[in-house]
Amino acid sequence: MLTPDVDDALRIRQSLRRQLPLLGALVAVVGAYLLLGATDAMSRWITWFGVAVFGSVVVVGLVGVLRGRRLPWELRLAADGVTVRGAEPQPWSAVAEVRVTGLRPGWFFLVPLGFRVIAFVPEPGAAMPALPSARLGHWTERWAAARRDRWYGSQLLLMPYAYDATTEQVLAAVRRFSDVPVREA
């Protein structure tokens, strides 16, 4: 009996190198808030609100990067389907479409940043697991899961700017291994 050749699979992992510019920019924003607050150029409550919001984003980003860097891969695309590390493999028949879109919610990102999100939208009745680095744990996970479903239609989201595979490489693998429709918004 022949077994599928797993060497042609696309294994996707976190890329610290690709995330450093964004994390650096966010740290600079936190620093700007602190500087403006220290010079009384803005009110204290706005200063601390900005530091809390952007500081939280930096912390969540760093935690995600560190979690993902420990793993040899987080997402595997192959002829047998989609596999999230630590979860059961999902056959391509469980994927209704692969949707490429921008960051959500749209009102929050008034300036288009150019970041793309690839969502593996499941067939009705199927469920796609979240990537290990996207699992926040505790009470925030329920909130984050609801937002992923509402904004993207899936728990399985890939933001290529944070990984070692580009959008084009991921979509090429989807097309090579399946007949799942790809929709780019």
| In the chain, domain spans | 13-69, 75-184
Return the pLDDT at 135: 66
What CA–CA distance (Å, rounded) separates 160 from 132?
15
Place of tokens 């989201």: 157
- Decide: 12 and 77 in contact? Cβ < 8 Å: yes
In 3D space, the residue among 72, 63, 56, 58 whose CA is nearest the CA of residue 133 turns out to be: 63
Task: Show the low-confidence residues of the chain (pLDDT under 50).
Answer: 1-6, 107, 109
Its pTM surpasses 0.85: no
What CA–CA distance (Å, rounded) separates 53 from 30?
9
Return the pLDDT at 120: 97
Tell me the per-residue pLDDT of 37-76, one tens digit each, with 9 for 90 and over: 889 888 889 899 989 888 888 887 777 677 666 768 889 9
Return the pLDDT at 179: 96
What CA–CA distance (Å, rounded) separates 162 from 144?
18
Return the pLDDT at 139: 61
Tokens of 90: 């999902």
